[in-house]
Every structure is written in structure tokens, then in C-alpha cells.
């Protein structure tokens, strides 16, 4: 529940009697008057984000304390020695915040909800994020109240952006909460905008139902198959907008086996194993298991047969996989041509059909004669 500071820790000893004698001194929070530079320094932030900035700024001058701010209720609390840094020896007598404890407190004060209970790494991967910004974007898209993070692989520090190139942070043991210029070099990892309502982010304009993923390193794919191209990677729990779902490639992961895949708003696919809920998501339509009328353009609808049937970018089984039909599916054929000869399921055929999405599939898996009736040559 604590966050290691940005300083490289050195070896240290346990707190001794002489250090305990200094308790009265180190217990004083050095609660200085609020820094005049700490506040909302740019327009555009939500009322919630502005309230979070005000809450963080109200703690200017309070001690950094390793583990501080992570008590049952958000707020300043006594920390403890981190086991290595001499500057942390007195954190057990300093009532204050570590970096994530301060962010937790700020948004608790702004919303009345404990949205950010966890480490800086937890906060970086929070499902309460309504927007995310890469390190390469710098501060240009940021608004006051956005959280900035540092760490390579594992996030170790967080601060709050104020605007105007300034941020407020609980930096490290032996220091007080401060305002400082932003740092976007080194291991700066990017920023997150918090959805202050504490409710799921609404789905995008093109519809969908919001679900939350679980696990770490979860990948989405171009087609419902783990062998297809990776579109995105979710390092932690993330909100996704599911458009539809279908039975496709069977996946075994995390002790579960499921052939259901969800199609997301960006057109990518993720196995339902990593979406919180039952194996087949409630209220989500099938992506196309039932017959549909062919679109305009002279195509003709046919039914496939077999299981695990793939379509390809070219009329060749070695070409890239475009789609994967786990079960019989209706397809719309534009034209057909003689191409690579394929032997499968006891049949040999060199005829391939071009579908309306531009992909190709061998006619072996389309119900009908080897050369489809009523379909033009490509």
C-alpha cells in the first residue's frame, strides 16, 4: 500500500532510543501556510479536479511519510521506516503522506469517495481513469488535477498537475509536500485523468456496454484469436466498451477455458476470460452468428460449415488471418477465383471466395458446389 520514493535507498539501521528522544520534534508536521503558487493554474479542469487540487494544496508543508495516507480513512497518518533509507528512520513519528497517499486524500476530499486506495502503481492502472496520456505527449494535453506518474515497468511515484508547468507532490522522506516544476524526462511514464464521479465511464458515441477487465498484461487482438496482431495491452484493470461478442478461438488462461470473445469499440477483440462477469456477457448481442441479408454491391449470402475456419488477406492459407469462425457463419461473397489449391476435410479445391470485408476463404468451407453458383469470377 506504500510507494517507494524516487531516491535510491541505502542501507539503514532500526530506530534507536536516541532517535525516539526526538519524537516531539519530528511529530510536528511543519504545516506551513499554503504555498501561494499551489492552486489551479490553468483553465479547463472539471469542478472535481479543481477540488482535488485545492485539497492537495491544503497540505503544503506537511511531512512526507513513507506509508502515510494509507490508513483506513484517507488523510494524514503516521508512516514507518522503509527498511533502507536513513531519511525514512523517523517516518514512524511523522504524520503525513507518501505520494500516493496524498493523491488518495485529494480525490477523497473532492468526491467523498475513496477512489484511489492503493499504491502509485495501482493508481496508474486505476479503472477510474477517464483519459490516459503517454509520456511522449508531455504536458500539452494535461489539465489541473491530472495525475503524473514515474516508473519503468513498475510505477514508483505520482504527483498532481496544477497547470503552467507546475505540480504538487509528496516527494521523499525528509521533505515536506511541495510545489515544483514538472519533470517529464527520465522514467516519466505518462498521466491519467480521474473520472471524479466514481461511476463507470460512459460508453463512446457508437454505443456499447462498459465492463471492467482484470489481470495484468491483457492484450486485445485484431481478430478473435490470440495468434492475430496485438492492438493494445492493458497493464492493469481497465474499463472497456463492449459492442458484441461471439464464439471463436478457445483460450485457456488463469485457470479458465472459454471460447467467447468480446469486440470492443475500437474494433479489437479480447477474450472474455479477462472481462469481469460470466463467460458469456449478459445483455451483449452476438456479433453475427445469425443469418443477415447481404449488403448492396452484388454480393451473395452463403453459409459456412466446420469449426475454426479462418479467412485470409489473400487467397492463400499462408496469408495473414483476417477473421476466425468458430462455428457455421453467414458470409457475403463478392466474387470467386481460382488460386492456391487447398486440401482439407477430405476435399481438394483451388476456388476461393472474396468476402465483403476484402478477405478470402477457400470454397471448401462454404456450403455448395466447389465453384459457387451465381457468383461472378474475380
| Residues designated catalytic | 99, 157, 169
Backbone φ/ψ region at 288: left (φ over 0), alpha (ψ -120 to 50), beta: left
CA distance readout (Å), 123 to 3, 67, 126, 173, 369: 11, 15, 5, 20, 58
Q: What is the DSSP string of 170-185?
A: --STT-B-EEEE---S
Whole-angstrom Cα distance, residue 66 to residue 45?
Answer: 30
Spell out the residues 6+ positions from residue 211 whose beta carbon is closer than 8 angstroms to its own.
Answer: 239, 240, 242, 262, 275, 276, 277, 281
CB 287 within 8 A of CB 251: no
3-class secondary-structure state, position 148: strand
Locate 322 and state its grid cell: 483476417
Could you tell me which residues are beta bridge partners of residue 271? 261
In sign, the C-alpha dihedral spanning 246, 269, 203, 212 is positive
CB 305 within 8 A of CB 264: no
The C-alpha angle with vertex 194 and arms to 51 and 272, in degrees rounded to 5, equals 155
CB 90 within 8 A of CB 22: yes
Amino acid at each position: 500500500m506504500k510507494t517507494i520514493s524516487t531516491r535510491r535507498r541505502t542501507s539503514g539501521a532500526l530506530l534507536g532510543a536516541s532517535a525516539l528522544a526526538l519524537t516531539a520534534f519530528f511529530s510536528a508536521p511543519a504545516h506551513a501556510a499554503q504555498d501561494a503558487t499551489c492552486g489551479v493554474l490553468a483553465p479547463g479542469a472539471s469542478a472535481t479536479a479543481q477540488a482535488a487540487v485545492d485539497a492537495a494544496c491544503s497540505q503544503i508543508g506537511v511531512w512526507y511519510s513513507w506509508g502515510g495516507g494509507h490508513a483506513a480513512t484517507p488523510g494524514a497518518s503516521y508512516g514507518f521506516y522503509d527498511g533502507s533509507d536513513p531519511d525514512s528512520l523517523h517516518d514512524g513519528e511523522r504524520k503525513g503522506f507518501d505520494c500516493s497517499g496524498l493523491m488518495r486524500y485529494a480525490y477523497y476530499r473532492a468526491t467523498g469517495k475513496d477512489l484511489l486506495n492503493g499504491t502509485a502503481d495501482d493508481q496508474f492502472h486505476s479503472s477510474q481513469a477517464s483519459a490516459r496520456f503517454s509520456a511522449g505527449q508531455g504536458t500539452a494535453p494535461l489539465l489541473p488535477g491530472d495525475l503524473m506518474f514515474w516508473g519503468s515497468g513498475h510505477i514508483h511515484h505520482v504527483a498532481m498537475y496544477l497547470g503552467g508547468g507546475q505540480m504538487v507532490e509528496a516527494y521523499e522522506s525528509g521533505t515536506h509536500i511541495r510545489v515544483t516544476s514538472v519533470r517529464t524526462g527520465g522514467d516519466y511514464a505518462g498521466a491519467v485523468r480521474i473520472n471524479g464521479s466514481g461511476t463507470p465511464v460512459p460508453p463512446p458515441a457508437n454505443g456499447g456496454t462498459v465492463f471492467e477487465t482484470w489481470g495484468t498484461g491483457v492484450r486485445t487482438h485484431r481478430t478473435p484469436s490470440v495468434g492475430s496482431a496485438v492492438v493494445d495491452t492493458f497493464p492493469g484493470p481497465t474499463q472497456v466498451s463492449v459492442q458484441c461478442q461471439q464464439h471463436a478461438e478457445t483460450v485457456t488462461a488463469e485457470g479458465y477455458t472459454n471460447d467467447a470473445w468480446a469486440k470492443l469499440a475500437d474494433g479489437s477483440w479480447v477474450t472474455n476470460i479477462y472481462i469481469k462477469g460470466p463467460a458469456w456477457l449478459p445483455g451483449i448481442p452476438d456479433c453475427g452468428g445469425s443469418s443477415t441479408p447481404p449488403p448492396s454491391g452484388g454480393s451473395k449470402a452463403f453459409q459456412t460449415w466446420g469449426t475454426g475456419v479462418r479467412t485470409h488477406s489473400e487467397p492463400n492459407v499462408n496469408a495473414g488471418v483476417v477473421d476466425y469462425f468458430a462455428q457455421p457463419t453467414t458470409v457475403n461473397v463478392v466474387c470467386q477465383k481460382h488460386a492456391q489449391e487447398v486440401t482439407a476435410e477430405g476435399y481438394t479445391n483451388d476456388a476461393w471466395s472474396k468476402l465483403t470485408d476484402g478477405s478470402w476463404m477457400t470454397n471448401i468451407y462454404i456450403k455448395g458446389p466447389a465453384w459457387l453458383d451465381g457468383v461472378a469470377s474475380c
